[in-house]
Every structure is written in C-alpha cells, then in structure tokens.
Chains A and B, each alone.
Chain A
Amino acid sequence: MSVLVVARWTLLEARRRRLVLAGVALSVAFVALFALGYALLYHDQQRAVVEAEVLGAGVLSAREELLAVSSLLLVLGLYGVQFLGALLGLFLGVASVSPEIDSGALHAVLARPLSRLQYLLGRFLALAGLLAAYVLVMSGALLLTARVVAGFTPGDARRVVGLMLLEVLILLAVSLLGSTVLPTLANGVVMLALFGVAWLGGILGFVATIPPGNELLANLGTAAGLLLPADAVWRGASFHVLPPSFLAATSLAGGAQDGPPFVSTAPMAPAMLAWALAYPVACLAVAVAAFRRRDL
C-alpha cells in the first residue's frame, strides 16, 4: 500500500516538474522528424528500384536493397529511441533519491511507518512506468511508420521492444542504486561514464568481428557488457529488427559485420541475456541493502 502511495507521489512529481510535458513534446517532434525522413529516403530508394526494373537488370537485388534500407532506417530510428530512453533512465535514476536526501525532504517521509524498501520500490515502479510508457509509445510509433510507409515489420517486434524496455530498466536500476550511495552530481558523472564504457564495449565487440578477428577486443567488449549490459541488450534488440535476407548476406560475407557499428547481426548470447535480466534485480537489492544502512 505504502509502495503505491510513494509511486503515485513520484508520478505527481514528474507531472509537476513538467517532465511529462517536456517528454511528450520532444517525443512528438522526434517521431515527426523520423516519419518524414523515413518516407523521403524510402521513396528515393523506391525510385531506384523502379529505374532498375525499367533497365531490366538486378531487380531482385534492388528489391532486397529496398528491404535492407527499410530495416536499416528503422534500426537507426530505434537506436535514437533507445539512446534517448537510456539517457532518460539515467537522469530519472540519478534524480530519484539523493536530491531528496540533500534537500532534507526525505527526513519527514522516512520518519513515517514506511520502510526504505517500500520507498525505493515505490520510486522505482513509478519511474519504470514512465520509462516503459516512453519506450512503448516511441518504438511503437516508429514500427508503425515503417509498416505504413514501407510495409516493413521486423520478424519479432515484441522481442525488439521487450529488449529495449529491459535496457532502460537496467539503466534506471543502476542509477537508482548510485543515487542511494552517492551525491547527485558524482552519481551523474559515474553513470554517464559507465554508459560510455558500455557503449565503447559494444563498438569494440563490433570491431573484433572484422576479419581476421581479435579475441582480446572481443573479450574487452564482453567485459564492458558485463559491467553494464545496456549496449549489449540494445544490440540484442537490433538483431531482431534486421530481415533474414540481410543477415544471410552478412553471413555469406564471412561473418563480418556489414551493417552500421551500432547494430548486431548475431543474436544475444543466452548467458548475457540471463545476466541482463538479473542485473536490474541485483541493482535494486544492493540499493535497498545500502540505503537501509545509510544515516540521513
């Protein structure tokens, strides 16, 4: 019951601080820009296919090219969504607990018959709800655009969205953990650095697949992914956006990545997925343990 009271209070705070309003306004702008760009680029590519048909040469490869472009444009848009969602998750988590401690507003709240576990859960649930709504609406709008404009739907759209949700929850949980032990500014710096390391790890992992391959780089990439499995989860999501023909073409090219460096042409390793699922739960557990010990 108290968890819900805190969650409701957190949602009221988000509304009062104009977070929701700003989020909605900027999201509408993002989706509009994406839809416009998607339509323009798709129609350009479509003209190229028609020209190829007129010339009577390479029609099949031109059609595959069109499919590849449709999916790559979508993956690019979703990359933008996950990036914004990730930053939003970090910011919300960083601002979740420590500013309330610093201002002293938490003293009166935690003097109530409310456990620290209940407080943290309430905060997390409300913020996770906001983030989930953001990711669902934004990725849904992009998927819908691809379907309407190009008639393209990823093979497993549910898995794409599910993994993107997992990514923002991981970032929210880790920054909420930071917020229970670090001052706000320090936590912000640490979280951005961690996020950067995870991103770099993903790039290293990508570079490692370029023949002849580099095992050390691959291991470094995996280590960064274990430290913060945000980018790894995004790559897992991106795999499910790409069409099989595109993936087949890449595997014919000797396993080397062919797409942009921020998508993956291989599915997420099951062990990494398990780690990514356990990660936010572990972060919350550590956050509760640390917060219980903290003197206010």
Chain B
Amino acid sequence: MSQTASADHAAGIAGTGSAVPAIATSGLRKSFGSRVALHDLTLAVQPGEVFGFLGPNGAGKTTAMKILLGLVRPSGGEALIFGRSPAEPAARRRVGYLPEHFRFQEWATGAELLDFHGRLAGLGGTELAGRIPELLERVGLAGRGGERVRRYSKGMTQRLGLALAILHRPDLVLLDEPTSALDPVGRREVRELVRELAAAGVTVFLNSHLLTEVEAVCDRVAIVSQGRVLASGPLDDLAGAVTQLRLLLDRADRELLALLGRHGEVVAVEGTAVTLAVGTLDVAPDLARLLVTSGYRLYGLVPVQRSLEDVFVDLVGEVREG
C-alpha cells in the first residue's frame, strides 16, 4: 500500500475517534442442522488491532468470519462490525475480505474483477483506473491484470484476492487463511502487508491454523476448537500463561518431588532433570535457595517459555480427548 493510502487511513481512524470496537460478538452461535459450528463466541477486536483467530480445521473460524460479513445468519447471539450489524450492506462498506478458497469469476481478467469489486465498493471509474495498476503491483501481479483469472496459478489467485481485500482502503480487513496457497516468499510478503496495514491503523482479523504466521503478526489471539474459544488474550500473555522451570540436580528422589510439589506442579522427570510448572517466575530465586539449603546440588534452573504451538496443541488436545 502506498504512503498516501497509509496517511488516508490514519486520518480516517483519527476522524472516527470513537471507542466502538471494530468487531464485537456476544454469545454468537451457529448450527447447521444438528451440527453446531459455533458455540457462544464472545470477543471484541479494537480498531487498529491485528487479531489472530486460531484453530484446527473445522473449528468454526470460517463460519465466524462469514457471520461478520453477513454471508451467514447467526442462530443466536449478536455480531457487530463498527457497531452495526453486518447484515446491513452499508455496514460492510469499510470492510475488506479474502475468502478461504479465494474463488473468483474465472472468465474475467484480474483487472476486470478489481474494477467490478471497486465499483461495488463505491469507487469511481477514474479513481479505479489509477488504483488497479497500483494494487496489482503491490501484490506482485504487475503486468498480469489483463490475463483471465482462469489462467492464474493458485498463488496468483490468492494474491489477486488480497488485492481485492484492500482495494477500497478498508478500515477492517478479514483474511481467511491468507497464505494457504503461497510459497515461503509469498508468505513473508503477506506478513509485510499485514504489518503495513496495521501501521496504517487498519484492523486485521486473521483466520489461520498456521501458528508461526499468527505469532509473527498478531497482537492478540483467540484459540478456538469445535466452535468454542479455549483461550484468548495478548500473544505474550497467552504463550506465557503457564510458565515452566527446568531444573537439573544431582538427584531426583521422592523428597525432592514432594518439596517441588509445594511450589508448583511437576510436569516431567527425566533422569535428574525435572520440569516444574509454576504460577510465576518469581518463585525461582526462593526455590534455588531452598534446594541448596536442603542439600541438593543445583546444576541448572532455566525458565522455559512455551511457544504458541505448545499452548495450542495442549488446549486443542484437551478438547479432543475430553
């Protein structure tokens, strides 16, 4: 996105200046027949945030996004974008969307598709004439706008989809698995695009099951599985919610485990190495002194920061087993 576009955005956000969340849902529910796709989804995304909606395939991520776009009607609860129901067409004026399977009318050329969507978004012909080549350039499709979408590779189609999503300089962009068809270079480009959007004050709502991608760009995440939010919060809090200490001692006897058990939960014992889950890292110095005074030889005490992937696998695994 160009510099001027970014400035436009900043001005737009400052102009609205309200505390209305970009996205707010409460008790959102959707069932298709007997299958419940979404249970009681409640979340709020503030303007300017990059929000990651994480979950395994079939978790209800796409359903939630479609409700936010008025494509699917909720069975219960409420969804609002900038304080308005997405069922009202005018409420979607400030929203850009990249669908999961990024399928577009294949008989059209990329430029025609951009023109069509631009006009639907309320842009004029002269504005579009300048905007379309700029966008094609931005997503790496410079010079390919005259080709039929049918001839595009999957990666090119997804790039076109990204151009469609940011075409009208929206304030909120919903991206459903935006890098599924891209190679590593393309993925990096999308990460840069998301960062640029965020820098320009655009709210980004990102559906993904690619954790590294979410970790790289999101401010906050929600982890969903089987239609429920399992955890949500700032990325650092979520990944650090459960802190672990890894201790290396001369021996790991029953007394030691009992002593450690009073300060946390013993997660694993491998030889004389013990992994202890603790509420806060502040117990570490005291624990070190206690161990030494109790006659243990302490070779190492290292806090282990869990990755988002660990949190994800634990949470989703629990739900599947439970």
Contacts and interface: CB of A to CB of B under 8 A. Distances in A.
A115 interface: yes
A104 B107 contact: no
Interface in A121-143: none
Interface string B156-180: 0000010010000000000000000
Interface in B46-78: 66, 69-73
Contact of B108 (A16, A100, A114, A295): A16
A268 B136 CA distance: 58
Interface string A216-246: 0000000000000000000000000000000
Interface string B87-129: 0011111010111011111111000100011011110000000
B95 A111 contact: yes
Contact of B105 (A2, A105, A296): A105
Contacts of B72: 295-296
Interface stretch (A5-13, A33-41, A47-55, A151-159): A5-13
Contacts of A107: 66, 71, 97, 99, 103
A118 B71 CA distance: 15
A108 B104 contact: yes
Contacts of A118: 89
| Size category of the binding interface on chain A | 20 to 34
Contacts of A108: 97-99, 102, 104, 117, 161, 164
Contacts of A109: 117, 120
Contacts of B101: 104
Contact of B92 (A9, A17, A113, A293): A113
A110 B116 contact: no
A113 B122 contact: yes
Contacts of A12: 108, 112
B221 to A, nearest CB: 23
Nearest to B148: A16
Nearest to A6: B120
